[in-house]
Amino acid sequence: MNERRRPSRPGKARPPRRKSSPPRPVDADPVRLVAVETLRAVRERDAYANLALPPLLKQRRISGRDAALATELTYGACRAQGLLDAVIDDCSNRPLSEMDPKLLDALRIGVYQLLRTRIPAHAAVASTVDIVRFESGSKLAGFANAVLRSATELDEQGWIEKLAPARSEDPIGHLAMRHAHPRWIAQAFADAVGLDELDAALAADDARPAVHLTARPGEISADELAAITGGDPAPYSPYGVRLEAGAGDPGDLEPVREGFASVQDEGSQLVALALTRPELTGPDLRWLDLCAGPGGKANLLGALITMDGGTLDAVEQAPHRAELIRQATEGLSVNVHVGDGRDPGLEPGYDRVLVDAPCTGLGALRRRPEARWRRQPSDVGDLTKLQRELLLSAIGLTRPGGVVAYVVCSPHLPETEGVVSDAIRRTGVTQLDARPYFPDVPDLGDGPSVQLWPHRHGTDAMFCALLQIPA
Ligand SMILES: C[S@@+](CC[C@H](N)C(=O)[O-])C[C@H]1O[C@@H](n2cnc3c(N)ncnc32)[C@H](O)[C@@H]1O
């Protein structure tokens, strides 16, 4: 946390009234400038920060510690946007909605440095003001300077105390602001995990996640992969390796480039493995992945069924994502089909079917810095309709005695328990207690479904329900 050391401010920052001083040559710090430009790409083009930033860094030849700082500022400011905006709003006499968006991007990077880094306040203010002057001229630079100087008056804790509702009166609103989450998402987490754990759940969701790898079964063991990459064997998945957060681009690792390993959250590995574990009577060589792009789980399931001499059919609606599945499953007994999982035109009678349905992704917000502010509650209705239809289709494609895993990367109850109870009511399938199929994983709750959590398991918040078709 920063040491704060600023004289009191005269009041809210106003745009300057006097004529601005003659422009001086400006040197905008290239590291902070790419952070501001990436926020702009996220805002204007709906870009993903983690896709927009790396090419900019490359283009500007920013590497090493500078690249690490640009990444921290960009992703951090994306994550903390709601908190940063509340502070900026309090420090300015202009409503945010009337503020020049380019100026707001720069102010977010500036206030992020003040609240959540150890960068000295004078450096954070001066470098941000330089960027505003460079991009927008002296007038707005003066305004930015006044806003930022006001923002230096309190540290993060002080701002939260000033701006968040009291925890005793509105715990969800308080924790939402403390951990920079939209209120509706904090509410969704509270509904799923309970108020007692909400603080820990949101805190873990606000932290930078470790990268996990999957060692492709039959090619390399997790121990070998850990030794090569300098990571640690994962605690729960027999195929998992955990790397340190910020350990560089995992795509550059040789085993990943060679196809022996892939980047995949340990929770994703565990839910895919849970599908393979219930004992079946009868044949067990036809598996189906109904929403397979870009192919992470198809790679793991495909490797396992290939070793057993069976086949995985992988369905994906988007052609470019189907191509990614082909690349991810090269060399495996996997047939990729472009089609709609609700009516894929495949012969029914599968032994095991995975429905890893499109969802809000509220369980993987850590990995998509801007996602929590982009997602809207209005997205949920259309998604749950599609999820229900996909699960009913999966049940129809599974043979009597076969098993379906319904999986989403979200803890939001309408997408999890709501979809599963609808399918049980309509079809009479049996829900299995999924917990025994997550061996050695602690804190799995009351079942029968499993909800993983970053703060409990160090994984994304994956949900898994196992359904068996009556024999
Ligand atoms: C959560 S992702 C699946 C992730 C994948 N299982 C993995 O591990 O890499 C959901 C996928 O379903 C696809 N999808 C969306 N609607 C679909 C539909 N009606 N039928 C089949 N796939 C669909 C999306 O394009 C997306 O690739």
Q: Which atom of ligand 1 is nearest to the CA of 290?
A: 21
Ligand 1 within 6 A of 293 CB? yes
Nearest CA residue ID for atom 7, ligand 1: 296
**Per-residue pLDDT reduced to its tens digit, 433-470:** 999 999 999 999 999 999 999 999 999 999 999 999 99
**Residue 244: pLDDT band by 50, 70, 90 thresholds?**
confident
Q: How far away, in angstroms, is 322 Cα from ligand 1 center?
A: 9
Question: Annotation-wise, does 340 bind a ligand?
Answer: yes
Q: Is residue 9 part of a domain?
A: no
- 422 and 339: one domain? yes
Query: What's the average model confidence in pLDDT over 73-88?
Result: 97
The parent domain of residue 60 ranges over: 30-156
Ligand 1: which of 269, 316, 390 to mutate, judged by most atoms within 8 Å of the beta carbon?
316
**pLDDT for the residue numbered 2:** 39
- 61 and 150: one domain? yes
Q: Global pTM?
A: 0.92
**Per-residue pLDDT reduced to its tens digit, 302-350:** 999 999 999 999 999 999 999 999 999 999 999 999 999 999 999 999 9
Catalytic site includes residue 409: yes
- 419 and 461: one domain? yes
Residue where one domain finishes, among candidates 224, 244, 263: 263
Q: Is residue 303 part of a domain?
A: yes
Number of domains in the chain: 4
Write down the catalytic residue from 91, 359, 409, 464: 409
Phi, psi of 248 (to 5 degrees): 95, 180
- 66 and 194: one domain? no
Ligand 1 within 6 A of 235 CB? no
Question: Annotation-wise, does 316 bind a ligand?
Answer: yes
Ligand 1 within 6 A of 402 CB? no
Q: Is residue 7 part of a domain?
A: no
Question: Annotation-wise, does 274 bind a ligand?
Answer: no
More confident of the two residues 4 and 331: 331
CATH code of the domain in which 339 resides: 3.40.50.150
